Structure 1
């Protein structure tokens, strides 16, 4: 399919996925979903990271999350629910759509990490190394 604009591509991508508000995403995580942060290091350093999220930069996403790719992460199991996050919720929509086209259960966070933080949900300083899980905040 050919799209006339990026906006048209984004609209089609969003029509193929479920978009979650930050608190909905947090509830899904409590039920076993994993957040995957696709932002580059400089953005994670600037805006922080969601504790418990898995860091997989966008250019490796499909290979690291598809359990049959031959290059998947150890916790990329069949049926694992993925919630994609970026800065403001644009790139995450495109990425989640790509994952669903591979048969993976994927959604994204509307508004990205900015909406997550604005909802009062936890954010910690980054950056965490690629393909690692973001550590929980430490207690004083």
Structure 2
């Protein structure tokens, strides 16, 4: 690679540096953000509610019965109407998609990626699943909060030393 090419690439990367807060704020200018109650109403009008949380998170927190489960790592392939790997509900670019994550951060970035694909009616749930549950909307399963915190602590911070007998 020539020095000139390296210089141009380095300059482009330097200009493109943004914090995640900046990326998130930018993404949120392009999507529809819905309160949990507005998202529930949208589902009643035919919107696809898509839960992108990993299986372990859904097992701990609970699920939304009306949601399609599509984990984040395959979301674009499943919802792009032009993809060979799309789901049957990905019928066109006018489908109203409402993305749900745990707290409403990852879902904003995911919805923005769908907008980039041309799914211009994509948005997310403000506050995510936590806000959905707090609003008293339909959920199933999950582990009580005190047990979930204990399980998370044990799995995230295992004791590396054997306990004395």
* TM above 0.5: yes
Deviation, 1:4, is 1.9
| d(CA) in 2 for partners of 1:77, 1:2 | 34
2:75 is paired with a residue of what secondary structure?
Answer: helix
Determine if contact 1:89/1:108 at 8 Å carries over to the other structure: yes
TM-score normalised per structure 2: 0.74
Deviation, 1:121, is 0.4
Among candidates 43, 47, 66, match of residue 29 of structure 1: 43
Asked which structure has the greater RCO (Cα within 8 Å, sep 6+), the reply is 1
| d(CA) in 2 for partners of 1:3, 1:108 | 25
Among candidates 53, 65, 73, match of residue 39 of structure 1: 53
Alignment match, 2:127? 111
- Number of equivalences: 126
Gaps of 5+ in 1: 127-140
Alignment match, 1:61? 75
2:50 is paired with a residue of what secondary structure?
Answer: strand
Determine if contact 1:3/1:9 at 8 Å carries over to the other structure: no
Matched, 1:50 2:96: no
Alignment match, 1:90? 105
Q: Which has the higher Rg, Structure 1 or Structure 2?
A: 2
TM-score normalised per structure 1: 0.87
RMSD value, Cα: 1.2
| d(CA) in 2 for partners of 1:106, 1:9 | 17
* Residues 72-91 of structure 1 mapped to structure 2, 5 A cutoff: 72-78=86-92, 79-91=94-106
Deviation, 1:106, is 0.6
Deviation, 1:2, is 2.1
Whose helix proportion is higher, 1 or 2? 2
2:49 is paired with a residue of what secondary structure?
Answer: strand
Deviation, 1:59, is 0.5
* Moved >3 Å (runs of 4+): none
